[in-house]
Amino acid sequence: MRFLRWLTGLIILAAILIWIFIHPFNFLVRCLYILLLCSFLCLFRILKGPTAADRAVSVDILGILIVGFCAILCLATGRPWYLDIGIAWALQSFIGVLALSKYLEGRSFDE
Amino acid sequence: MKTKIVLFIVAFIVWLGLTWSVELLSLIVGVGVAILVAFLTSDMFTPLRNKTGFVSKVPEFKQPVRYLWFLYYIPVFLWECLKANFDVAYRVGHPDLPINPGIVKVKTQLKTELALTFLANSITLTPGTLSVDVDKEKGYLYVHWINVKDKGVEGATRIVVEKFEKILRRIFE
Amino acid sequence: MNEIIGYIFIVAGVVFDFFGCLGLVRFPDLYNRLQAATKCVTIGTCGIMFGVFIITGLSPSGIKALLIILFLILTAPTAAHALARGAHKSGVKLWEKSICDKYEEDAD
């Protein structure tokens, strides 16, 4: 049963990846598509996660993914200010996750 | 005052790296921002005296041997990171999910806060382990291990901590 | 030549990112998910940034990419550590097939 579920998921993922790779776009846009697929997996865990802590983990991972997204956008469009957005997003996401973890622990923010 | 000057220099170098221009206006703004940062955050880096009168020890950074050991530590760390990635990719892709998780307790000899921070970060980025909490007085670390091989304290310490602890003790203590 | 080496680093980073997010969906409890996601996504994003540094060379963009690598390697394990401790204190249990939980035993 577990093997059957694994096989179904594998077939769906392979179909999505093949669909991405037969599209007539250039190389960096395909990388962007795969990162978009990763973001959708994170959003699935945010929707389904049983506790609040699972959702906090997904938000953390989504923040790091967006930094990589900004870097590939910088190469694909040739505009260097996308990396500034990446730096700012990394800083802000780290502080946000620390605040979330303090909230989970049940303490106040100024400790 | 010494920490303020060091912080000012570090903040100004980061500003130069971020703006990458030597126009007069950006240099003036950079000096202003660096002075502001140095005055606002300098009391976070001085050794504070806490309630029991214990002054946390600041390590000596003047011997060049420590920097050589740090240069040796970087490739070891990167190699372990790469191994960790292939390990996780194997466990994720396998249909039966070959995991065997648990939280174990390991003992460490390191005392200073900087060394403990580096040890916890290294444990998190290496194969199968994630540091959960630190008991600073007794020197224990609680580690979540994805494939528990040994439940006891000594065996887990030998497998998880020892290879980093030898190098980190030479760097920071 | 530089572009080809940079593209190889970017492809490796994207593949590691993908495995990390797949682990986020497949693993059964929070701590395992945190392990897989933190390791793979941090190193994957660092790989993408190193590819950007190799392609653009020593320019403003390259220096910024190196700064992001340093920042991510320092902060991502700290965030994972804080989240794991907060989750354990808020009462999230381990997977039911786990071997042992020494932290729970020592908490009292």
What does the pLDDT look like over A20-41, one tens digit per residue? 778 766 888 888 888 998 999 8
Q: Confirm or reject contact between B70 and chain C (CB < 8 A).
A: no
Q: CA B173, CA C23: separation in Å to the nearest integer?
A: 38
pLDDT cut 70: percent of chain A above it: 94
C106 and B105 in contact (C-beta within 8 Å)? yes
Q: Confirm or reject contact between C89 and chain A (CB < 8 A).
A: yes
pLDDT one-digit tens code per residue, B2-55: 778 888 888 888 888 778 777 888 889 888 988 888 888 877 666 554 544 444
Give how far A80 is from chain C: nearest CA, Å.
6
pLDDT one-digit tens code per residue, B90-129: 888 888 778 888 888 888 877 777 778 888 888 888 887 8
**Sign, Cα dihedral of B80, C7, B18, A70:** negative
Which of B50, B35, B47, B26 minimizes the C-alpha distance to B4? B35
Report pLDDT for A23: 73
Mutation target among C50, C100, C105 for the B interface, most CBs of B within 10 A:
C100
Per-residue pLDDT at C105 exceeds 50: yes
Please identify among residues 81-100 of chain A the ones whose CB lies closer than 8 Å to any CB of chain B.
87
Write down the domain spans for chain B. Answer: 2-44, 64-172
Which of A14, A9, A29, A13 minimizes the C-alpha distance to A76? A29
**Sign, Cα dihedral of C50, C52, C56, C58:** negative
Tell me the average pLDDT across A55-64: 90
Report pLDDT for C45: 92
Tell me the average pLDDT across C74-96: 84
Report pLDDT for B54: 46
Is the Cβ pair C39, B82 closer than 8 Å? no
Q: CA B153, CA B170: separation in Å to the nearest integer?
A: 23
Is the Cβ pair C64, B18 closer than 8 Å? yes
What burial letters (b/e) apply to A16-39, b meaning 16+ CB within 10 Å? eeeebeeeeeeeeebbbbbbebbb
B126 and C42 in contact (C-beta within 8 Å)? no
DSSP state of B51: T
Which of C32, C45, C21 minimizes the C-alpha distance to A37? C21
Per-residue pLDDT at C107 exceeds 70: no
B132 and B144 in contact (C-beta within 8 Å)? yes
Which DSSP helix (H) or strand (E) runs through B107? strand B102-107
* Residue B89 region by backbone torsions, left for phi larger than 0, else alpha for psi between -120 and 50, else beta: alpha
pLDDT one-digit tens code per residue, B72-82: 888 888 888 88
Residue with the bigger pLDDT between B139 and C81: it is C81
Which DSSP helix (H) or strand (E) runs through B130? strand B129-135
Per-residue pLDDT at C43 exceeds 60: yes
Tell me the average pLDDT across B131-157: 79
Contacts of B155 in chain C (CB under 8 A): none
SS3 C15: helix
Q: Whole-model pTM?
A: 0.85
Is the Cβ pair A68, C48 closer than 8 Å? yes
Give how far B14 is from chain C: nearest CA, Å.
9
Residue with the bigger pLDDT between A18 and C99: it is A18
Q: CA C66, CA C50: separation in Å to the nearest integer?
A: 7
Per-residue pLDDT at C17 exceeds 70: yes
SS3 A4: helix
Per-residue pLDDT at A94 exceeds 80: yes
Q: CA B32, CA B43: separation in Å to the nearest integer?
A: 19
Report pLDDT for B53: 46
Q: Confirm or reject contact between C108 and chain B (CB < 8 A).
A: no
Band the pLDDT of C51: cuts 50, 70, 90: very high
Query: C95 vs B121, B144, C20, C27, CA distance in Å?
Result: 24, 12, 19, 10
* Three-state secondary structure string covering C37-102: HHHHHHHHHHHHHHHHHHHHCCCHHHHHHHHHHHHHHHHHHHHHHHHHHHHHHCCCCCCCCCCCEH
* Residue B68 region by backbone torsions, left for phi larger than 0, else alpha for psi between -120 and 50, else beta: alpha
Report pLDDT for C108: 57
Q: CA C49, CA C13: separation in Å to the nearest integer?
A: 9
Quote the ipTM score.
Answer: 0.87
Mutation target among C61, C63, C66 for the A interface, most CBs of A within 10 A:
C61
Per-residue pLDDT at C86 exceeds 60: yes
Beta pairing, strands B129-135 & B140-145? antiparallel
Per-residue pLDDT at B139 exceeds 60: yes
